Amino acid sequence: MTEGASGGEVPDRPPVWWRRRRWQVTLGIFVALLLVTGLGGYLLVRHLDGNLTRADYRDQLTDRPSNEVDDGPRLPLDILVMGSDSREGDNAIDDEAADSERADVTILMHLSADRRRAYGVSLPRDALVDRPDCTLADGTVVPGEKQVMFNEAYEVGGAACLIQTVEQLTGVRIEHHVEIDFDGFRRMVDAIGGVEVCIPFAVNDPDKGIFLDAGVQKLDGDQSLDYVRERQNLSRTGDIGRMRRQQAFVASMAAQVVSADMLLQPHRLLRFLDAATASLTIDPGLGGVWDLTQLARQFAGIGLDNIEFVTVPFVESTTRPGRLEWTEDAEGLWERMRADRPLGPYAEDAIRAADQPGSGGTGPGNRPSNSPDDGPDGDPGTDGPGRDADGRLEATPDGLCA
């Protein structure tokens, strides 16, 4: 506080750097709005709308659950995000041939009705589930099967079958769906100038052609694709570790997209929108660019502290080595989602967007990075990502920085 002209105390003015930063952010938003709504704005929006691919699967879905929360001004939203492992065309990222297309990544995102929290639940692709009957676009019905791999639903019936499977397994009504492939993922990362991650140790995987340095770093599209695909070198938990790293990556990417730096660079924001709209297949209910922008603003308004990622409770299968099974605790998680409640006890090991590198939070990579000689007598100290006595970054079993 400082003393005013009349002798009373008046609040201190914000420091110069903050006033300048606030002005820059305001200017960035203003310029972005001009680019979208000003001269040429109509053509830009029409271009972005034309980029979008829409897929309507409603006629293929049966016995759909109802939304349990429908008495407020807004409904909670449950969005199924599907990443395919297609290797056709620009998705031919390696020499691995794929005679079929499966869901490489599946995350069920929940956005609360009050728009104060969001969480994503990863569904392991190797989990054994009872797949329901699925209807194809031509009306053919693919009979259901018991105890088959979760991601086979996409293989036998595409996105519609995966949506049908998730709805029947969880009792959660999927309001919207988003599909993205390898090339689309890569383009979106490059459009925002890369995504910052913390890699505890170097990756040398000549079989997959994946080579990554250790430490906190910003990865481009190709490197990011390698990072989220790697499951042999980084984690001792195989595909589970890969799934956790995918959650951390998406959280870090979300933190970067909503950051002030993005707003300060309208050209980068528009490049991201161009890449995103050209990379996604969405349902007609999501509308066009304006509707997607409004949805993105709702996510951004939540705050990074309230964006979390977890995995459905699972155990290793006792009947099928190398496979997983959902536990009885999974039903409690779906009950919370259906009732639009917070994660509660399921958030114990959640990955939060606010804790990722570049978010400004307190997770590994956000604090000043230290080296072995930062402290007295070579003590690496306590700041930054955890390090062992030899100064090496400590790693979780999943391949994340501790």
Domain ranges of the chain: 40-378
User: Where is pLDDT greater, at 327 or 71?
Assistant: 327
Distance between CA atoms of residues 82 and 55, nearest Å: 13
Q: How many CB atoms lie within 10 A of CB 372?
A: 15
User: Where is pLDDT greater, at 333 or 377?
Assistant: 333
pLDDT value at residue 92: 45
Distance between CA atoms of residues 362 and 369, nearest Å: 12
Does the pLDDT of residue 124 top 80, yes or no? yes
Query: How far from the centroid of its chain's Cα atoms is residue 222's Cα?
Result: 17
User: Where is pLDDT greater, at 394 or 101?
Assistant: 394
Contact 145, 335 (CB under 8 A): no
The tokens describing 189, both together, are 């990362």
Instruction: Give tens-digit pLDDT for 356-399.
Output: 886 666 566 554 444 333 333 333 334 556 676 666 778 888 88
40-378, which class in CATH?
alpha beta
Does the pLDDT of residue 118 top 60, yes or no? yes
Confidence of residue 155 (pLDDT cuts 50, 70, 90): very high
Does the pLDDT of residue 29 top 90, yes or no? no
Distance between CA atoms of residues 286 and 275, nearest Å: 17
Does the pLDDT of residue 346 top 80, yes or no? yes
Q: Give how far Cα 66 sits from Cα of 46, 175, 188, 349, 373, Å.
A: 34, 10, 33, 29, 59
Distance between CA atoms of residues 5 and 28, nearest Å: 35
Whether the pTM exceeds 0.95: the reply is no
Contact 309, 247 (CB under 8 A): yes
pLDDT value at residue 369: 45
